[in-house]
Chain A
Amino acid sequence: MSRTAEEIGRTELGPRPLPPLGEHRAATDLSYVDTVLDNGLRVVVVKQSTVPMVEVRLRVPFAGDAPLHAATAEVLAATVLTGTAKRDRVGVDTELALVGGELAASVDPEVLAVGGNALASGLDTLLEVLADALTGAVHSDDEVAGERARLIERITIAESQPAMIARKALQKHRYGDHPITREMPEAEDVAQVQAEDVRALHRAAVLPRGSVLVLVGDVEPATAVAAATAALAGWSSDKAAVALPPLPDLTPGELKLVDRPGAVQSQFRLSAQSIVRTDPRYPALQLANLAFGGFFSSRLVENIREDKGYTYHARSYFEFTPDGATLMVETDTASDVTAGALLEIRYELGKLGVTPPTETEVETVREYAIGSLLIATSSQGGLASQIAALAMLGLGVDYLLGQPDRLKAVTAEQVAEVAREFFAPSRFTGVIVGDAATLGPVRALGGVTFP
């Protein structure tokens, strides 16, 4: 009664042809306003009324080179929404909750980010709570002490995650002790942060000039701009928020092996210098990256996952900083296939230049790039995050709208050219985190510095 696998995989009719694509329908035009308020804050509002919600993203450039900047900034982000003269922590949460809202703050070496959402009918409450925190957060002694203790525990927990260990090792290997490497502060630095330091940093650095506020949702752009203007009228300063200075270009070099005794898997984190989004070669490089490892049907994934079974996860992508960008290649593989994976990664990097993406590969990645952008920006949250990221690079909604046409204009020759230049194995540096005792075959391949 039961069929064999072979019987299951066959029908009388035999294989059927793939249906063609139907008619493409263009996304409807976005109605938006992009303006700068008197206090220097750039405000971008986009109407997207798919659901009666509004998304908010605030980005404040937040660089600093004081030794305790990262630690102080982390405590600031943890306490900025815990109370003002007008509302305590519970008051903040209650007012937001009653309009279905939430706000959360985070910080990295470049930016203080506050993001959240609420029912669109609660936009005024959302803006008021946000503005109150920006201008009136008290960072009370108690809240600072409590958050400081929790942060130290969270840092301890995060530092035990292999992905965090690998990230930290890569940053140190790429950038030494540059402020960009302080993505997560040291626990002992956090322990030294005093409430007065946090309040001083807030006064000095949480500034509207140079910052961006993005609102996306079921709101009229002009009305929302007026609401933001009114809510944030009290947020002002002659000074501008501090952006991170340009990073040094990466120096290609050997991969550094970081020993993690007992690990059953190795983390690969490779990186090379790349170009900014506004570079005319960027759309071609974006397609070259997709073909290499930027999506599932890429050469890297098809090779080391679907052919070799070395990994569950492999990808390549860009990281953007205010004035530059890097190309990242990452995967995690079992210890016994780490050498094999290294060999294949190097092979695929070299091959992308020597045997560049074919016309078919270029068409595939072009469709994917255009379609996935359409999907990513079809939700309010996705669109808000995209616009906020672009805004920090000085770009706007028009850049987003122009992206499909720029991708359509790229030729296979242009892809081949940037593939040769940017994916050359000799341009890369990076780290492998794993159990050095089990990685002898990696040593034999060369190009990896063991501890």
Chain B
Amino acid sequence: MTVSELHRYTLANGLRVVLAPDTTSPVVGVSVHYDVGFRSEPEGRTGFAHLFEHLMFQGSESLEKLAHFRHVQSSGGTFNGSTHPDYTDYFEVLPSAALERALFLEADRMRAPKITEENLKNQIDVVKEEIRLNVLNRPYGGFPWITLPPVLYKTFPNAHNGYGGFEDLEQASVADCAAFFDTYYSPANAVLTVAGDFTVDSARELVDKHFGDVPERPRPQRPSFAEPAPDSEIRADIQDKLAPVPAVAIGYRIPDPVDDMDGYITFLVLAGVLADGDGSRLQQRMVYRDQLVTDVSAGCGMFGPFEARDPDTFTVTAMYSPEVSVDTVLATLDSELEVLAATPPSAQELAKVTARWAASLHKEHDRLVSRTLALGSFELLFGDPGLVYELPARISAVTPEAVSAAAKALRPDSRAVLTVTPAGGAE
């Protein structure tokens, strides 16, 4: 794996900085990860972390509304932000000549965002449209990231809808925003990452210049979101008027990636053995041999692996034909897991998974935006951006016996099963 030289340090105000120079292309990526996601939003304020992410683009002391977008884009760059269970990220990718601008823009909103009634109201409308587009107006909206957690988890932080309910979004006030910013958007609660075309000395100087005087505020105590795994199989069903065929998502609990990264990675390899590629076990059995399902996939995390701290979810999802019962799909999954639990996978099966992961990590590294974000989130969640480069070796170190044990741990008596049932009207 191509390894960028990594430089990590912390400013006096607590801001952690990761620098990853690589001069191959004249482009640079800048990201800021704040250690707050939708698991931290209070009851009655579902969707608030995401709504607040929108507000961070609405202007700051030195930047009028719309200026952020215009400055990035008129520098030839692109930008975005996204809200995850445990963090919220903001990023720009630009020609390297615009590095200082990107740092200026991120520092200005970390120091003094302008939160107004008017912008809040406007962004509540925009977020509602986003939810209509991605959830309400389409079949399988929010499946499974919104709909599976309330089946697998009992506590509000883990179970609730991170997009939020309209009634909660409409309640959000400017005072809520101010309190949320002061609590969670402290420099000590954030990671700044700069990757791409720059020299370390000049980047350090620019980081100091722009972020050095962001006032220090305390780093909030991060609560534990731990809760026990279910002690039975919990089932739920959603009637979907727009869905033409049934779908199922099965959720299991997996090891805490912070305490037991190798244990977590074992489940990643298991997911590959089960469902990655035509030769994988579930594709062979469920799609081609028994022809029960149209598509099946398996993986760690609701948005991909390494995106959350504990508790995290292993999911298997499938779209299946209306003539097939969900119990048949589950029984087939369980029988494949039993086979794997009894007999470890072959060396070749693991070699396939390892090579595909190595390739996909190279590809991620090649896209500057994903490289920047991966370094930042690994620093934030695991305190080690270098782990990004160790992953291929850690993945290839997983043994067949460990995969077998992981398959055994996916027990039918400790999981959530969510079905989506077509409820007519889709014709």
Residues of A within 8 A of B (CB): 2-5, 7-11, 13-28, 50-53, 82, 89-90, 92-94, 96-102, 117-119, 146, 149-150, 153-154, 156-157, 159-163, 262-265, 295-297, 302, 305-313, 332-334, 363-364, 367-368, 370-372, 374-375, 378-382
Contact = CB atoms under 8 A, between A and B. Distances in A.
A61 B65 CA distance: 47
B132 A53 contact: no
B154 interface: no
List the 4 shortest-distance A-B pairs measured between CB atoms, nearest first: A371-B76, A309-B125, A100-B359, A97-B352
Given A53-B366, A119-B359, A309-B126, A3 B182 contact: yes
11 contacts: A10-B112, A14-B61, A17-B62, A20-B100, A22-B96, A118-B359, A153-B245, A161-B138, A161-B139, A295-B73, A306-B122
B355 A22 contact: no
B69 interface: yes
Given A52-B362, A371-B76, A379-B366, A16 B104 contact: yes
Contacts of A307: 122
A297 B69 contact: yes
B130 interface: yes
Contact of A21 (B98, B279, B284): B98
Contacts of A333: 129
A185 to B, nearest CB: 16
Contacts of A51: 2, 362-363, 365-366
- Range of interface residues on B (Cβ < 8 Å): 35 or more
A305 to B, nearest CB: 6
B287 A150 contact: yes
B376 to A, nearest CB: 18
Given A5-B115, A18-B101, A10 B61 contact: yes
A26 B133 contact: no
Interface of B: 2, 24-27, 60-62, 65-66, 69-71, 73-79, 93-101, 104, 108, 111-116, 121-130, 132-133, 136-139, 174-175, 177-179, 181-182, 197, 213, 241-245, 277-280, 284, 287-288, 291, 294-295, 319, 321, 348, 351-353, 355-356, 358-360, 362-363, 365-368, 425-426
B70 A364 contact: yes
Given A295-B73, A312-B130, A94 B137 contact: no
Given A160-B244, A295-B73, A372-B76, A94 B348 contact: yes
B288 A154 contact: no
B178 A5 contact: yes
Contact of A100 (B27, B197, B355): B355
A137 to B, nearest CB: 14
B129 A265 contact: yes
Contact of A150 (B115, B136, B294, B363): B294
Contacts of A306: 65-66, 122, 126
Contacts of A101: 356, 359
A98 B355 contact: yes
A63 B242 CA distance: 33
B244 A117 contact: no
B122 A309 contact: yes
Contacts, number: 270
A18 B68 CA distance: 11
Contact of A8 (B73, B77, B178, B287): B178
A160 B425 CA distance: 10
Contact of B368 (A157, A364, A375): A375
Given A8-B113, A18-B101, A150-B294, A367 B74 contact: yes
Contact of B74 (A5, A160, A364): A364
Nearest to B322: A153
Contacts of B360: 100
A24 B98 CA distance: 9
Contacts of A4: 175, 178
A119 B126 contact: no
A307 B142 CA distance: 27
A93 B129 contact: no
A375 B60 contact: no
Contact of B284 (A90, A92, A96): A90
Nearest to A333: B129
A377 to B, nearest CB: 9
B75 A367 contact: yes
Given A5-B116, A9-B115, A153-B321, A264 B358 contact: no
Most chain A CB atoms below 10 A, which of B60, B65, B294: B294
Contacts of A3: 178, 182
B362 A119 contact: yes
Nearest to B79: A296
Contact of A378 (B182, B294, B368): B368
A53 B244 CA distance: 39
Nearest to A266: B137
Contacts of A24: 26, 95, 97
Contact of B94 (A89, A308, A371): A371
B279 A90 contact: yes
B244 A97 contact: no
A146 B365 CA distance: 36
Contacts of B356: 97, 100-102
Contacts of A117: 359, 363
Contacts of A265: 129, 132-133, 136-137
Contact of B279 (A17, A94, A334, A380): A94
B48 to A, nearest CB: 15
A97 B277 CA distance: 8
A112 B277 CA distance: 21
A98 B277 CA distance: 12
